[in-house]
Amino acid sequence: MTGSTVGTITGARVAGGGRRLLPTDGAVDVFLADGVIADIAPASVLAPVGEVLRADGAWLIPGLWDHHVHVLQWALAAQREPLGHAHSAAHAARIMADAADQADGRRVGTGFRDALWADVPTLDVLDAATGDIPTYLINADVHSVWLNTAALRREGHEPDGIGILREGPAFEISRRLTDVDVSVGDALVGRMARDAAARGVVGLVDLDMAWNESAWERRLSRGFDALRVEFGIYPEYLDRAIAEGLRTGDPARGAASDLARVGSLKVITDGSLGTRTAACSHAYPGDPHNHGVLAVDPGGLSELMTAATGAGLSCAIHAIGDIANSNALDAYALTGAVGTIEHAQLVAHADIPRFGRLGVGASVQPEHAVDDRDLTDSIWAQQTGQPYPLRALSDTGANLLFGSDAPVSPLDPWAAMAAAIFRTRDDRPAWRPEQRVNPATALAASTHGGSIAAALVEPGAPADLALCERDPTAASERELRSMTVTATLVAGRLTHGS
Ligand SMILES: [Zn+2]
């Protein structure tokens, strides 16, 4: 039945924000027409219309969004050697010694976290394990890449004893590694999207570093219809976007449907925590001159945001350290731009209420807080800003928008909700429990509008919906992480389930 258009969902219970709008706390029938919710009535009162989807008491929620995804990188991650469990440089090198070669004769691993390794990555260690096979290890945060001598030569870099590239040169390597045959890439993206739909996802923000409009025009024309997409535009493409008249919210030109739309200008203003390049007010431990890097100075950032705003483009500004967040907020205040700060991982206390005051969305990745708890407590221990201040942002009026930054963490809004509500993933106590958000906020932040302007299950709302086996606002951490989604609909059309 996937692909068919549903007329009536029978016997559903409604979770989260929609409940207060309903005539009953019991089961309801939901009538869909022309891609929107036409009516909601107590179960079995009105005759079903059109194709019927039996909910059998499952919980109906607004369809979920992931507000920060690198689509092709995430799709390709499935083919790469996972390195998240590597506990040292030597261990990571050993894993790559046994990894499978890709079709083009290279090996790619992804997801290592070297900040807490006792040993230092060196070319000798990696070359001894991997020999002449060009081998690439991508950091979990994607802001650094460790290459062996064969890979460095292939990419035109002089071997330097360590083999680690950071920031710009690392992004360039990632870009080349995602430059795969189009039909192979599109097939992987299609599979990724079906997996996302099976988790209740109806849409995502694609921040691949490319001219994304033509990629989505092509995918939609070849039948992609599993998700809505809002694609970002990087500064190197801003002049082209303005010249061609792209505006935020416009559908991709020439596409077979309106599922893919122009998103925001994406600007990366600083580095990351794991690579120790996030721009911070205090130096990194043992490295007294390292305050991170500002990839874009405040003047340059304001110029970019002014140009985007004048052309009708919203902004998505990557800022991880407290200095980068201050600069980004200043630029929003100065330019009147509309948009988000991506990550907001370390925020000065005085800056936290500015998100709400300025109407700047906080596009955050709750799983990173859990992934980075030990790293934050060590290499950011001397910082005065608040790390991962989700609750403080929410309490001061910021619109929270949850995402995964896949491949940095898996594209799974249930994991994001669990991390935001419980701030743990194992049997350890919650990390900085005062920053937990409540379940209704977490669910709202996982919908298109975010915690302040959440999608609701109500008449007139888009029929972007998911049915899940439990009430997500009353589920435990483990229940959230293992949530079964029985059906997902985009504009009333089934993208998952039967
Ligand atoms: Zn990202």
pLDDT tens sequence across 39-85: 999 999 999 999 999 999 999 999 999 999 999 999 998 889 999 99
| Alpha carbon of 2 to ligand 1 centroid (Å) | 31
| Alpha carbon of 444 to ligand 1 centroid (Å) | 21
CA–chain centroid gap for 119, Å, is 31
Which token pair is 374?
Answer: 């030990």
Name the packing angle between helices 322-335 and 298-310 (round to 10°).
Answer: 40
CB 391: neighbour CB atoms within 10 A? Answer: 20
CA distance 420 to 366: 5
| Alpha carbon of 204 to ligand 1 centroid (Å) | 12
The pair phi, psi for residue 48, each rounded to 5°, is: -60, 150
Burial of 93 (0-12, 13-18, 19+ CB in 10 A): buried
CB 103: neighbour CB atoms within 10 A? Answer: 9
Farthest CA pair distance, the chain: 74
Which token pair is 317?
Answer: 């500004």
Near ion ligand 1, which residues have CB within 5 Å? 405
pLDDT in tens, the chain (498 residues): 688 999 999 999 987 544 444 555 689 999 999 999 999 999 999 999 999 999 999 999 999 999 999 999 999 988 899 999 999 999 999 999 999 888 788 999 999 999 889 999 999 999 999 999 999 999 988 889 999 999 999 999 998 889 999 999 999 998 899 888 999 999 999 999 999 999 999 999 999 999 999 999 999 999 999 999 999 999 999 999 999 999 999 999 999 999 999 999 999 999 999 889 999 999 999 999 999 999 999 999 999 999 999 999 999 999 999 999 999 999 999 999 999 999 999 999 999 999 999 999 999 999 999 999 999 999 999 999 999 999 999 999 999 999 999 999 999 999 999 999 999 998 899 999 999 999 999 999 999 999 999 988 999 999 999 999 999 999 999 999 999 999 999 999 999 998
For the chain, what is the radius of gyration of the CA atoms? 23
CA distance 330 to 349: 15
The continuous run of DSSP H or E covering 206 comes out as strand 201-206
| Alpha carbon of 99 to ligand 1 centroid (Å) | 26
| Alpha carbon of 90 to ligand 1 centroid (Å) | 27
Whole-number average pLDDT of the chain: 94
Reference 479, options 429, 415, 436; nearest CA is 415
| Alpha carbon of 442 to ligand 1 centroid (Å) | 20
Query: Which residue(s) pair with 109 in the sheet?
Result: 81, 137
CA distances to 281, 293, 351, 353, 443 from 323, rounded to whole Å, are 6, 10, 10, 16, 30
> For residue 455, what pLDDT is reported?
87
| Alpha carbon of 206 to ligand 1 centroid (Å) | 9
| Alpha carbon of 132 to ligand 1 centroid (Å) | 31
CA distance 321 to 293: 9
| Alpha carbon of 211 to ligand 1 centroid (Å) | 16
Query: Which residue(s) pair with 40 in the sheet?
Result: 30
Q: Give the predicted TM-score (pTM) of the model.
A: 0.92
Name, in order, each residue with C-beta under 8 angstroms of 71's C-beta and a sequence gap of 6 or more.
Answer: 189, 192, 204, 206, 208, 229
CA distance 220 to 260: 8
Cβ–Cβ < 8 Å for 495, 2: yes
| Alpha carbon of 143 to ligand 1 centroid (Å) | 10
CA distance 434 to 423: 10
Which token pair is 177?
Answer: 């590694």
| Alpha carbon of 316 to ligand 1 centroid (Å) | 10
| Alpha carbon of 405 to ligand 1 centroid (Å) | 5
| Alpha carbon of 368 to ligand 1 centroid (Å) | 12
Q: Determine the 3-state secondary structure of 25 from DSSP.
A: coil
Q: Determine the 3-state secondary structure of 72 from DSSP.
A: helix
Q: Determine the 3-state secondary structure of 204 from DSSP.
A: strand
| Alpha carbon of 456 to ligand 1 centroid (Å) | 27
Burial of 429 (0-12, 13-18, 19+ CB in 10 A): exposed
Cβ–Cβ < 8 Å for 44, 183: no
